């Protein structure tokens, strides 16, 4: 395996690289991180989020939409799904 194109890390296996770069993790992990960042940053941008969607729930309509968005973006930019 060659040196990572995004940093100077030279992994010995794919699993080493995945643990080093969070963006390679699974869709739910990434959707949760996105949701948490969105909730944290919204007030700084003058936006109040809905109380009923503040906690990420992958089974809710909002959660399923976030998972679908992550899967679509991964496909568009060529990131594999672990």
pTM of the model: 0.63
Which residue in 75, 56, 74, 54 sits closest to 64, CA to CA? 56
What whole-number distance in Å separates Cα of residue 79 and Cα of residue 1? 17
Question: In the chain, what are the domain boundaries?
Answer: 27-77
What does the pLDDT read at residue 29? 86
pLDDT digits (tens, 9 = 90+) for 32-80: 999 999 999 999 999 999 999 899 999 999 999 999 999 898 888 876 5
CA angle 14, 17, 21 (to 5 degrees): 135
């Amino acid at each position: 395996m060659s040196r990572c194109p995004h940093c100077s890390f030279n992994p010995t296996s794919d699993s080493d690289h995945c643990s080093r770069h969070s963006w390679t993790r699974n869709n739910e992990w990434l959707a949760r991180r996105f949701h948490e960042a969105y909730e944290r940053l919204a007030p700084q941008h003058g936006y109040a989020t809905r109380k009923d969607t503040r906690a990420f729930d992958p089974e809710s309509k909002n959660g399923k939409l976030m998972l679908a968005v992550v899967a679509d973006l991964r496909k568009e930019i060529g990131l594999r799904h672990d």
